[in-house]
Every structure is written in C-alpha cells, then in structure tokens.
Copies of this chain bind each other. A is one copy, B any other.
Amino acid sequence: MGRLLVIGTGLIGGSFALAMRNAGCFAGIDGHDSDHMVAETARRLGLIDSVVTDLRGAVEAAEAVLIAVPTSAIATVVRQIESFVGRRTVTVFDTGSTKASVIEALRRRGAVPPWFVPSHPMAGSERQGPEAADAELFRGRRVFVTPQPETARAAVEQVRRWWAATGADVVETSVQIHDEMVALTSHLPHLIAFAFMNWVARPHGGDAALFAGPGLLDFTRIAGSDASMWRGIIAENHSAVLSQYDGWTEVFATVGTLLRESRFDELETFLAAAQDARARLSDA
C-alpha cells in the first residue's frame, strides 16, 4: 500500500479521504489546498494525516493523487503533477463535474498523460468545506469514468476500485455523453431552480415562506448550492447547457400554449406522460 495525496481538501476531497481511510486502501493520506487553512482544518478533523507544503515531494511519495479542485483548475494541476512525476508510476484522477473542458485544456498543452483518469462522482451537498466531509457521501451514488484513448487500462481499473471502495456505483462512458447528460439531469435543473427562487423571492412577491409546502422545498433545494461553484460548472459546460436550455424552453413553451388556450385535455395527457416518466425514474 502506498500513500494517497488529495489536492483540494474541501467537501469532495475530504469525503474521499475519509472513505479511503475507513476502507484502509492507503498507508497514509496527505493533503494540499490552495487555502492552507482548509488543509489544516482537514488535518485537524482527521480527514488527512498531514498537510503538504512540498507538493513535489508529496507527488513523488504518492501512489495516487486525487485532484478535487474547481474544474477550471484541473488541467493546470495535472500538468504540474506531470512535471514532478518523471518516470515514476502514479495514478491521478479528478472529480470535475464536466469532462470535455478538462480534456480540451490538457490537449491544448500536449497529450493526455496515460496515468490520468478523468472521473466525476455525482455527489455533493449544499454544505461546503472539510467540515461537511462525510465518509458515506459517495455510497450508492454514480461515479463516471471517462478514459481517453491514451489512458492506461491499469490506471482505469485502479481508479474504478478506489471509487467502488467508497460504496459508489462506477460507470464508464464517453466525455460527450457525460457532459450532455449532466447538462440535462443536473446543470439545467440547477439553473431552473436558481431562477425559480429569484422569481419567488422578487420584491413585492408576497410572503412565499408562508405558502411554501414540502413540494416547493424539494423543488428548490438545489438552489441552495454554491453560486460561485455553479457559475464555474455552467461556464465549463457552456455549450451543452445552452443546448439543453433551448430544447427545454421549447417544451415549456408548448405548456404555455396549452394553458393560454385552455386546452386542458391535452394538458392532462402531457401531465400523465410526465407522471409515468417520473414513476419510471423512481423505479430505475
């Protein structure tokens, strides 16, 4: 067993570290964060064993490196690790919510290293930082792995095993399918929920809290997510999000037409199809 280095010791990095500690996958866990206090907090909470100041030394000592930083910074960290790795064997993987932007940023500066396995755990929380870390955060969640043609198969298998050890359900897919589907099932719903909260909370909009039932609270829960993080995700997956936005807006406009023209029979047929689709989603 070697050492794990976690770069970015917030909610996701900290939760992975904790899950690996519980699963006993590594001899020790080092952590680094661009905000030194975040890494110190992670150490104090027992998520990592030590805070890394010498990144080169830590990479040289590591069997695995998890990059759990904002998506826009991932390619830079991969290139930095590359400069430290030399001919050593190391397995590096990330947690970025979008994959094409990372791969494109890497390709702008050469080939994708064979030891780098792009991955994305579909898990999170409205809470942030190492204080919110949870060893069970990934249990029962999907983790997508999107290997490139140059990715070493052994590295992919290794990364799949580590994610599986967190209790996650690991699925391999392509970068394109991944980014389109998360734009549909995650990024667009976040945009709608954020916008809906602004509509509900508009000035003179009335006392919405008085009229808020459990349905509204569930519907808008994801609007409690971190605005800065979501700006990043949406910017990184811009074209896929825009395409989903346009398609969805067209569907919703047909609802407006049915409503305006009091075509309630057709509206009911539309609602019934949605009710069935939601039942299938629950069953799946």
Contact = CB atoms under 8 A, between A and B. Distances in A.
Nearest to A256: B245
A122 to B, nearest CB: 4
B275 A199 contact: no
A212 to B, nearest CB: 5
A48 interface: no
Contacts of A271: 194, 227, 230-231
Contacts of A252: 192, 195, 199, 249
Interface stretch (A14-22, A61-69, A147-155, A276-284): A276-284
Nearest to A247: B199
Interface in A124-143: 124, 141-142
Greatest chain B CB density within 10 A among A223, A226, A281 is at A281
B226 A275 contact: yes
B255 A191 contact: yes
A199 B122 contact: no
Contact of A195 (B228, B235, B251): B251
Given A205-B184, A277-B198, A210 B259 contact: no
Interface string A186-228: 1001111111111111100111111111111111111111111
Interface stretch (A5-13, A50-58, A260-268): A260-268
A216 B241 CA distance: 15
A84 interface: no
A221 B252 CA distance: 18
A196 B255 CA distance: 11
Given A184-B205, A238-B262, A171 B210 contact: yes
By CB atoms of chain B within 10 A, which of A122, A219, A267, A272 has the most?
A219
A194 B270 contact: yes
A102 to B, nearest CB: 18
A105 interface: no
Interface of A: 122-124, 141-142, 171, 177-178, 180-182, 184-186, 189-202, 205-228, 230-231, 234-235, 238, 241-242, 245-249, 251-252, 255-256, 259-260, 262, 264, 267-268, 270-275, 277-282, 284
3 nearest A-B residue pairs (beta carbon): A209-B284, A201-B277, A227-B271
